[in-house]
Structures are given as C-alpha cells and as structure tokens.
Amino acid sequence: MKHMTPLMAIFLMIVASCSGTQAPQGHRELNSVYYWKTVFHPDSADIAFIKKHDIERIYLRMFDVSEDSYAHAKEEKTVPNASVRIDYPDNYLLKDSLSDKEFVPVVYITLNALKAMKGNEGILARNIVTRVRNMCEYHSIPNVYELQLDCDWTKSTEESYFTLCDSVKHVAADLQLPWRLSSTIRLHQLSGSVPPVDNGVLMVYNTGSFNNPDAANSIIDANDVEPYLKHLPSYQLHLDVAYPTYSWQLLFRKRQFIGLLNGLNLADTTQFSNRDRNVYVAKRDIPYNNRVILKGDLVRQETSDYGDISKVKRMIDTKLSSRNHSNILYHLDSKNLSKYSDDEINKILSASE
C-alpha cells in the first residue's frame, strides 16, 4: 500500500466523519447533552464540564425548517431558518477534546413547514439531509452516526411526519450516509403511533403550558408528567430521556402570556414586589430590550430545580426499569449548569439513582 499523504488523511477523516462509515453497530447508551444555541463555540468551561461528567454524545441543533409563505414552487415552500453558526474552537487542545465525541445533528421542523410540504415530503427530506451533510463536511464535524428530527407533530400531521421520516432514511441511503434516524418524542405523543425511526428521545421538559398564568412551573412538574407515563412501558421504540437544566422568566399581562424574558433582576424591590413563591409584580413601567414591562404585569420565574428533576426521573426510571436508556441534559450552558452540584449532575445522568 502506498504511503498516505497528510492531505489524503485529512480528506478521508472528513468523509468518514459525516458519512458515519466507522459508526458502531446499533445505538449505545452514553452520557449526552444538547447544544441549543445560535453559535456553536464551546469554551474551556464547556469542555471541562464534558470531561468531568464523561459526556460522549452531543446533540447539536443545526437549523430550523420554517414555511416560506411567499414561495410558489413546491420545492421552495420551506426554508432553513436560524442556522447555527459553527465556530469550532481555534485552540487545538479544545478541539482535540471533542474529536472522539459523537455528534448528532438535530433539525427542528415547525408544524407550518410540515403542513406546507404535505405530499412533497420527499423534497423536504432531500433538502434536510443534503444541507446537514454539507454543513458537517464543511465544518469537519466528527463522528456523525445519527440524524435527529425534532417536531411536535399532532394527530392531523402524523402521517406527513412519518412519511418524512421514511423519506429521510431513503435519501440518506441513496447518498450512502449510513446514519441512524432518531426523533424527539413529546409526552403527549406516547399514546399515539410510533414513528418509523431507529430510536427516540423522550423530551421531559416544557411539560406544562407556559400560556397558563396559574401554572407553578411549566418547565418540569411531576403532576404534569405522571398522567402520560402509563404509556411508557409499552411504547415500542428505544427511548433515551432528556431532562431540563435551564431557567426562564415568563411575562403575563392581564392573565395573557406576552413572551419569554431573561436576566431581569426580580429581587430589585424598587421595580418588583413578590406576590407568590416565584411570581413578581412590576411596580412601574420598566424598559426591557425592545418592549416595556408595564406596571401591574406579572413575571413568573421558572427553574429546573434538582428536586423536581429527581422526582420525575424516579418515576420514569421505574417505568423503564427493564429497558436500558441514556439520560441527556438540555442543554450545555455553563451558567445554568453551575447551579447544580457535581453529584446532582451525575445522578441526573446515571441510569438510576
């Protein structure tokens, strides 16, 4: 065999990274995280967290698929939106720390986009697969063995979504990309049909309605989760489980949800008064980014409290006691993750507590 030049070696590494030709057989249970930001630029704190907690798989959001309401041609009725800007670490030591991790590209599909492409799911599938492949190859994303679709499909859009899943698998095979296909599974979807994918991720976050001004915590609440879990033992798909590690603030005006906020200092008694455990009332009009929080508006502070996560996890572990599964953190953000002890993170990631 002829000596392999450095240029040839680099080329083969890029091809293998996105074709998945070196992929292990089947799905492995690994400590995992989602990376759900507009820029993929893990810093030294992120790398340290990944190393400390043996994170082996990173679910990387690549782009959303949205409807283009102005398009006329069927192949143009959907467009990629909010694509991640991949800024791979310049520091070779940081980059080397990720070289052995599995990366799963994730594409979020809006319901409007799915409805717009009804009957043309094959076109959408080809657009998704080729764009993900091109992004992975261009940025040399390593160890891509799986593609994940994220969609909150409903009964009326189920047939179209399942057709899309089948089409994605066929397109990947045509392009000689031996990727597994996975799908996010929301709690309400557990009672329905199983999508034609290789494995799924049960999303145990945003479990309540943030539109409800009386909800205690729309991020995660055992009372919201429990009714759906009766379907979990009989669900005929390998499931990993994603738990939240984020927080947010919700703005209500006259009991109507206005939007999500972040970074308000609710402890500032010159601006807010505490009405309930996690509910605050604006004492006066407060400028906030491009809007104004009006006097009398309510702000609800919601967090992913470890106690709530642990309670829900015990319920799910009981239902999945005979089925191996990975646990996934949503998502990799050092500020939010710093609120948990190392022991708490390890317990969330563990197969059982």
What is the CATH classification number for the domain harbouring 143?
Answer: 3.20.20.80
CA–CA distances in Å: residue 157 to residues 41, 46, 73, 99, 194? 35, 37, 21, 38, 13
Query: Does residue 105 contact residue 60 with C-beta atoms inside 8 Å?
Result: yes
85 in any annotated domain: yes
- Give the C-alpha separation, 109 to 67, whole Å: 9
Question: What φ, ψ does residue 53 adopt, rounded to 5°?
Answer: -105, 20
The pair of three-digit structure tokens given for residue 82, joined into one six-digit string: 């909010």
Q: Specify the number of domains making up the chain.
A: 2
Distance CA(22)–CA(143), nearest Å, equals 8
CA-nearest of 125, 111, 80, 104 to 17 is 104
pLDDT of residue 7: 39
Whether residue 98 contacts residue 42, with contact meaning beta carbons closer than 8 Å, is answered with yes
Q: Do 138 and 261 belong to one domain?
A: no
**343 phi and psi angles, rounded to 5 deg:** -65, -40
**Is residue 202 packed enough to be buried (19+ CB in 10 Å), middle (13-18) or exposed (0-12)?**
buried
Question: SS3 for 301?
Answer: strand
**Separation of alpha carbons 287 and 152, rounded Å:** 34
Residue 174 buriedness (CB in 10 A; 0-12 / 13-18 / 19+): exposed
Q: Which of 198, 22, 175 is nearest to 102 (CA)?
A: 22
Same domain as 211, residue 197: yes
Supply the range of the domain harboring residue 99: 29-247+303-349
Q: Are 107 and 125 in contact (CB under 8 A)?
A: no
> What is residue 353's predicted lDDT score, i.e. its pLDDT?
60
Is position 64 within any domain? yes
Residues in the chain where the model's pLDDT stays below 50: 1-16, 19-24
Same domain, 325 and 200: yes
* Residue 325 resides in a domain: yes
Question: What span, in angstroms and rounded, lies between the C-alpha atoms of 75 and 71?
Answer: 9
Instruction: Cis check for the bond before 331: say yes or no (omega within 30 of 0).
Output: yes
Q: Is residue 228 part of a domain?
A: yes
Instruction: Compute the distance between CA of residue 108 and CA of residue 119 in angstroms, rounded to an integer.
Output: 19
117 plus 210 within the same structural domain: yes
Same domain, 150 and 285: no
pLDDT given at position 12: 42
For residues 257 and 216, membership in a common domain is answered with: no
Residue 198 lies in a domain: yes
DSSP β-ladder status, 32-35 and 327-330: parallel
Round to whole Å and give the CA distance between 165 and 128. Answer: 11
Residues 222 and 290 in one domain: no
- Give the per-residue pLDDT at 109: 98
Is 225 a member of any domain?
A: yes
321 lies in the same domain as 331: yes
Is 280 inside any structural domain? yes
Same domain, 103 and 118: yes
Residues 106 and 222 occupy one common structural domain? yes
Phi/psi of residue 176, each to 5°?
60, 45
Return the residue matching tokens 């994730």: 106
Is 6 a domain residue?
Answer: no
> Are residues 94 and 49 located together in one domain of the fold?
yes
pLDDT, position 18 = 61
Angle among Cα 321, 329, 223 to the nearest 5 degrees reads 60
CB burial of residue 262 (10 Å; 0-12, 13-18, 19+) = exposed
Same-domain pairing of 91 and 172: yes
